Amino acid sequence: MKQNIFNTMKTPSINNELFTTLLQHKNIKIERIVSNSIQNSIENIKWYNQDHDEWILLLEGEATLGYNHPQKSITLYQGDSLFIPANQEHCVYKTDTKTVWLAIHIF
């Protein structure tokens, strides 16, 4: 089935994200994530620790991620990708307005 990743894309309210599953098949799940002006302080960060691998691609915008709770951070720009291995604690510190991600979860 043909899809356009940018069609029907809504922008969440400020400091929020919208997750849309684009495909789920066998051992993969492909998601579009739209973030809007995330500005997290250390006190209100949501840390993720998944039992599966994830590969992310930043399609639009800019984002700063934290990993190894909270010693390190990395900034991603449009076109950058990052592999997050299973059980790697990570979070989103901040994003631009309307930051768009493609996330591939590998189970």
What confidence tens digit (pLDDT) does each residue in 3-33 have?
A: 899 988 999 999 999 999 999 999 999 999 9
Predicted pLDDT at 1 = 80
What confidence tens digit (pLDDT) does each residue in 38-72 have?
A: 998 877 888 899 999 999 999 999 999 998 765 78
Q: What angle do CA 32, 101, 70 make, to 5 degrees?
A: 120
Residue 74 has pLDDT above 70, yes or no: yes
Here the tokens at position 55 are 């590969």
What confidence tens digit (pLDDT) does each residue in 82-100 have?
A: 999 999 999 999 999 999 9
Q: CA-CA distance, 86 to 107, in Å (whole number)?
A: 9
Say which CATH topology domain 17-106 has: Jelly Rolls (2.60.120)
Domains of the chain, by residue range, sit at 17-106
